[in-house]
Amino acid sequence: MGREGRRRRGRLILWLLLLNLLALAAGLAWEHWQGLSAAVPNINADKILLLSAQEGHSKEQ
């Protein structure tokens, strides 16, 4: 029973390490995907900034 228990514990540790690596890879992939989506220009944000700049310029006159 002692040898079988150690073998079972070793397998459990191996599976937990593999699961941990899988979770790490998924987290890194998610961060990479979030970074790519943030790199895409947001045209609406640019329009809002342009309009607010024009609005501020017209108030100065």
Q: Is the pLDDT of residue 32 over 90?
A: no
pLDDT, residue 59, reads 53
Distance of CA 8 to the CA centre of its chain: 35
pLDDT tops 60 at residue 60: no
Is the whole model's pTM more than 0.75, yes or no?
A: no
Domain residues for the domain of 19 are 2-60
Query: What pLDDT, on the 0 to 100 scale, is given for residue 33?
Result: 85
The confidence score (pLDDT) of residue 16 equals: 97
Number of domains forming the structure of the chain: 1
